[in-house]
């Protein structure tokens, strides 16, 4: 039988002591930390809508619209769909943020808040500051291509997101045109975002989520 010397015995004792101290410390810290309920965990994971959701098609393009620029974000989205001709082959995602946000609003908001006049947006039908959304239900031949109208793109399956930060920022600037508060303007504009367009936390949030969903990036300014 092998005799254990003093050093071996002392080492085992020290390891035993350190093990008991570590366990006690862990228990003490656990008592100090708040318990995370399932509801708290779920709330922490919810940082926006489930957008753009599961996208169909092998080819997926994000058009990042940050300026109206004559409707260029819509034109780029149309061009992508038009040149992927096989049914179900492609999906386009369009973000309307910064200067492109008004495309997401109903014509009544353009008239009430004088969006065309305030932001110097020209209606191609009248060649004057727009008093309606010129990209919504336009007359045939007004836009470069009829199919790039926002309503036509929505009907074709395009996924749209409107930046909530831009909505609030622009509502604040426009509120005085209608003699209302910034909060009331923001609420009214949010209620008049076109059906089929999702309000997302911010445009850059949307850029990230669309790319995580498999989209390549196209600048749509």
- Alpha carbon distance 113, 128 (integer Å): 16
Q: Note the pLDDT of residue 72.
A: 96
Q: Which residues of the chain have pLDDT under 50?
A: 1-2, 6-9, 12-15, 17-18, 20-45
pTM of the model: 0.79
Neighbours of 73 (CB within 10 A): 30
C-beta separation of 217 from 76 below 8 A = no
pLDDT in tens, 39-94: 444 433 468 899 999 999 999 999 999 999 999 999 999 999 999 999 889 999 99
Q: Note the pLDDT of residue 34.
A: 43
- Alpha carbon distance 108, 123 (integer Å): 15
- Alpha carbon distance 178, 158 (integer Å): 32
What is the CA 8 to chain-centroid distance, rounded? Answer: 64
- For β-strands 90-96 and 59-65, DSSP reports them as parallel
């Amino acid at each position: 039988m092998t005799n254990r010397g003093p050093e071996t015995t002392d080492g085992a004792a020290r390891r035993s002591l350190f093990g008991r101290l570590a366990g006690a410390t862990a228990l003490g810290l656990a008592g100090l930390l708040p318990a995370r309920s399932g509801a708290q965990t779920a709330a922490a994971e919810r940082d926006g809508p489930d957008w753009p959701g599961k996208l169909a098609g092998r080819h997926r393009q994000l058009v990042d619209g940050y300026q109206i620029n004559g409707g260029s974000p819509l034109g780029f989205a149309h061009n992508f769909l038009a040149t992927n001709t096989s049914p179900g082959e492609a999906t386009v995602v369009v973000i309307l943020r910064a200067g492109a946000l008004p495309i997401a609003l109903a014509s009544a908001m353009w008239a009430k808040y004088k969006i065309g006049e305030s932001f110097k947006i020209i209606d191609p039908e009248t060649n004057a500051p727009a008093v309606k959304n010129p990209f919504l239900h336009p007359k045939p031949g007004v836009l470069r291509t009829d199919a790039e109208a926002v309503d036509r793109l929505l009907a074709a399956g395009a996924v749209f997101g409107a930046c909530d930060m831009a909505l609030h920022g622009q509502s604040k600037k426009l509120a005085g045109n209608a003699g209302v508060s910034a909060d009331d303007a923001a609420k009214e504009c949010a209620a008049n975002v076109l059906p089929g367009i999702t309000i997302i936390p911010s445009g850059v949030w949307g850029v990230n989520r669309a790319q995580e969903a498999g989209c390549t990036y196209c600048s749509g300014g």
